[in-house]
Amino acid sequence: MKLPFIKLVPSLVRQGVKSQAGALSASDRRLLDVCSLPAEKALDGLGAQKEGLGAEAVEAARERHGFNALSRKEKKFFVFEILERFKNPLAVQLLVIGAISLWIGDVRSAVVVGAMVFLSVVLSYVQETRSGKAVEELQKMVQANTLVLRGGKETEIPTVELVPGDIVVLHAGAMIPADLRLISAKDFFLSQSALTGESLPIEKAAELNGSAPKSVIELPNACFQGSYVVSGTARGVAVNTGENTYLGSISARLAGEKTQTSFDRGIQDFTWLMIRFMVVMVSLVFVIVGLTKHDWLQALLFAMSVAVGLTPEMLPMILTVNLSKGALTMSKKKVIVKRLNSIQNFGAIDILCTDKTGTITQDRIVLEKFVDVTNRPSDDVLRYAYMNSYYQTGLRNLLDRAILSHTDLDVEKAARKVDEIPFDFQRKRMSVVIETEDAHVMITKGSVEDVYSACGSYQLDDEVMPLIDVIRRDLMEEYERLSRAGYRVLSVAYKEFPKDKTSFGVQDEKDLVLLGYLAFYDPPKDSAAKALGALERMGVAIKILTGDNELVTQKICGDVGLDAKSVITGGQLAALDEAGLAAAAERHVIFARLSPAQKEQIIAALQKAGHVVGYMGDGINDAPALNLADVGVSVDTAVDVAKESADIILLEKSLMVLEDGILEGRRVFGNITKYIKMGASSNFGNMFSVVGGSYFLPFLPMLPIQILMNNLLYDISQTGIPMDNVDPEYLAKPKKWNIGNIKKFMLFVGPISSVFDYATYFLMLYFFGCIAFKAGGAGAPYLERLFHTGWFVESLLTQTLIVYIIRTKKIPFLESSPSMPMVFATVMAVTVGVFLPNTHFAGKLGFVPLPAAYWAWIVGFMLAYAAITHGVKVWFYRKFGDD
């Protein structure tokens, strides 16, 4: 039997919330009304046309409906944005202290509090706004686009520019950009899991075919923003956009249910730890000072000042600047951060799951062979494969592109397309139907096993013969041989139908005639082995999760140094129970023939075992895994749904780029933990010093204004932390959030500062004679001020300069150098604190010049403090580690 004649001639030209109950909104009613009409009348009612809107109609629609964006926080005049920040409990606390200070006539304290408010609120606003704008600009680089008809031509536009009346062209992998009414659809399946929680795809059609359902979300001919195309093709007219969409009506609720990352939970744990310490200490100080000094107003002011000193008010700014700086640095290395909080998790990854294509291979698939069932070159196989790839309207993968680039044929003159059966991940094949002179011919292309299973015969030359078991075994052996050599293999088959049959479906893919197969090769990247080795040295294990067969995957993985023997297939995984799956996920390196659901199961099993899992993917079937992983990584060329699901977007699909991003994530985490460890240990030490001093001293250890000034200078000294250097050894392995380790660090390091605070107390009381205050007399006020000044300077020096000890596991300066911004910030704060008692402002702040002998003592204290803290730090890291 001869193949149906399809003459090809050279061409001259080469995108979980349940349905809302209750009354329908105006937007939902509008969608329901439009979907209840026939397609033609629906278009007329919307003022739309099948060939799309013209430029004037687009502008008019945008004037009426605005841009296609979900509800966001309205941009306010900067003064109002700054005023909003005063709702912060810390800012309220500062304002109350300032108001009380003014009420009792203490203008000096009110001025210092004002400076702290400026630093906490205004400076934080400036830094965060600057960083936020920079990050927004980066995120625009990976904004979603939508394919629409404008003036009869298919045009890709930013999704935000879509307007009601636009005709949207949909294919596998596309995100639904607005609420649409379908006007045509072919084997069209959507995932609405983001809206309904339903994991299974739902089929959609162009017409209602029955009475309208009670719930808008159940409309069979409507597509809702937030869902995505699993398979098939369709066109739809935009009905509702932006805030008027179904998703827009529940976006606030969805945002409120956002899952916290381990980073968010860690920061929250630290904040509550500090709050608990503050409540305990402030209560104790208030009672002790009130009972011993018999001045309850003074006790209140002092306690509130202590509360300010114990509150890590710079934490929000430190976090934002660190994360934003990390995002900007990563962008220079071709890594775009979509969600800032994912940066820390990026650095904490200890297992990276990825497909092999484009990561360990060159992503340049070449068609090497097109042969019949006897392994002879066959132009018929190439022509039929070309027709299949050319006429399919779904998502063209790399294999399709390799076929189309291998030759240059004008198919439209040879045959007309009749129908199409799109690809899906269950059948793993796709078919197009074309018209020839005598028949309609279905051409099917797909995975070898899935095409073979639909075949009942094979063709050799002009003869069609039964596909008996012996032939099947021979064909499978050749397929396995090619796979072991690293080739990816597809089969091509066909079937003839009468010309009066014009509609086709999956049920027609049976009794096909096997024509031959195609072999593709995608060689390993030269840099893959080096990149994998670097990731392994960084403590990141690689696991390959692929839908490809195990033979070709083993070959490629073996070539780049992965354990090619450690392989398991999807079929084998399906036979395991939960415990067996967990063990297999931990033990194996290569996972082949996986379904999208199995990728999720592997990631969930690894997470349950305590791993921080990154997943890198760019296909439709990768979207669930990208959502589930601690960090989802995709590429700029990925399908819309993959980019939407990802936290990180790579502008270059390379493990080397990924390595740079992971290092920057660890650097950001390192600088954040420096501030947290400093704040925790410093506050814990201060608790002992202030409570003890308030009890046994005949006066306050420090005046409220002095505590506030001390805290102000300390805050200034911390502004350089986001720009600090991080030791290479710290970056060498994943870092997980560990609040338990921070608590231990606080317990062991914090009390050291308290020891030197008490040493300063006794130095000022007994060596410099401040104890004479007890005897009264004219010199008593001076001696009290001398005590306050002495402890102010010592306290500032110890808690500020100790950052150089805490910032590294090594010997400071000799083995690890801080950054210049860090040095500048701390030196500036310390210089102001040291010279303040000798300035014009000293009297207003209650300070007096310190005697020369004090400085000799304080230098000794600082050297001893540094040596002891460094020793305890070294012992701590040896015993408990630095995680």
Catalytic residues: 355
How is residue 524 annotated by DSSP?
B
Buried b (16+ CB within 10 A) or exposed e, 180-208: bbbbebbbbbbbbbbbbeeeebbebebeb
Of the candidates 710, 753, 718, which has an alpha carbon nearest to the alpha carbon of residue 861?
A: 753
Of the candidates 261, 358, 326, 322, which has an alpha carbon nearest to the alpha carbon of residue 661?
A: 326
Chain centroid offset of residue 426 CA: 29
The CA distance from 26 to 381, in Å, is 55
Phi–psi pair at 530, nearest 5 degrees:
-65, -45
Cβ(3)–Cβ(383) below 8 Å: no
The CA distance from 150 to 51, in Å, is 7
Of the candidates 793, 812, 805, which has an alpha carbon nearest to the alpha carbon of residue 857?
A: 793
What tokens appear for 100 in the block?
Answer: 């009380």
SS3 assignment, position 865: helix
Helix or strand (DSSP H, E) at 286: helix 262-293
Of the candidates 12, 13, 3, 14, which has an alpha carbon nearest to the alpha carbon of residue 385?
A: 3
Q: What angle do CA 109, 114, 116 make, to 5 degrees?
A: 95
How is residue 461 annotated by DSSP?
T
**Helices and strands, number each (H, E), in the chain:** 32, 25
The CA distance from 194 to 641, in Å, is 12
The secondary structure of 416-460 as a DSSP string is EEEEEE---TTT-EEEEEEE-SS-EEEEEEEEHHHHHTTEEEEEE
Q: What angle do CA 237, 241, 244 make, to 5 degrees?
A: 125
Question: CB atoms < 10 A from the CB of 583, how many?
Answer: 13
In this structure, the strands spanning 541-545 and 351-354 are: parallel
Question: CB atoms < 10 A from the CB of 354, how many?
Answer: 23
Q: In Å, what is the CA distance from 80 to each residue of 74, 86, 280?
A: 11, 10, 35
Kindly tell me the burial class for residue 46, based on how many C-beta atoms sit within 10 Å of its own C-beta (0-12, 13-18, 19 or more).
Answer: buried
**Helices 26-36 and 39-46, interaxial angle, to 10°?**
140
Question: CB atoms < 10 A from the CB of 576, how many?
Answer: 15
Phi–psi pair at 51, nearest 5 degrees:
-85, 5
In this structure, the strands spanning 455-460 and 512-521 are: parallel
Q: Where are the alpha helices (DSSP H) in 739-819?
A: 739-762, 780-801, 803-806
What is the chain's Cα-based Rg?
A: 35
What tokens appear for 812 in the block?
Answer: 């400071």
The CA distance from 520 to 369, in Å, is 7
The CA distance from 745 to 320, in Å, is 24
- Bridge partners for 222 per DSSP: 181
Q: How many residues does the chain have?
A: 883
The CA distance from 249 to 19, in Å, is 11
